[in-house]
Amino acid sequence: MEHWRPADVAWEEAPAEYFTGDVLFGPVRNDGVLNILAVSFEPGARTDWHHHPEGQVLYVTNGAGLVQNEEGSAVEISTGDLVHAPPGEVHWHGALPDSPMTHVSHTTGGATVWEGRKVSEEEYGSVAGGGRSPVAESGY
């Protein structure tokens, strides 16, 4: 059995070519099968559009943010929430304009596939412009 505490995570800058804003990676464990990666977004920061060959599970550990897929449905997420992106579903995730957000990503099936396009200010503003709704208490 292995066990990690938050202080065990060695944060590093995420590659700017695939993100907008300030984003840190916190690698937890990658054995080539299961990749567990904490990702911390400053307010307004987000991924580019991408997908995961075998899907992705996100567990939000701090703050509040957004996930959106290509069909346009954006969902606000906050501490304690879990998200599953099915295999191949094109999407992005990131922080709200007025809150940081940290999630732990769990993927199998190899590297993220980047679509080659940023989440524009217009796209982001269209789903993040409505202000933040009250954050429910975590049920976990």
The interface region with Mn ion, picked from 37-45, 49-57, 73-81, 121-129 by CB under 5 A, is: 49-57
Rg of the chain, C-alpha, whole Å: 14
Query: How many Å apart are CA 122 and CA 64, to the nearest integer?
Result: 20
CA 34 → CA 28, 54, 125, distances in Å? 11, 11, 33
In the complex, what is the shortest distance from the CB of residue 115 to Mn ion, in angstroms, rounded to a whole number?
11
The interface region with Mn ion, picked from 18-26, 53-61, 113-121, 126-134 by CB under 5 A, is: 53-61
Q: Does 56 bind Mn ion (CB under 5 A)?
A: yes
CB-side neighbour CA atoms (13 Å) of 115: 16
In the complex, what is the shortest distance from the CB of residue 47 to Mn ion, in angstroms, rounded to a whole number?
6
Binding site for Mn ion (CB under 5 A): 56
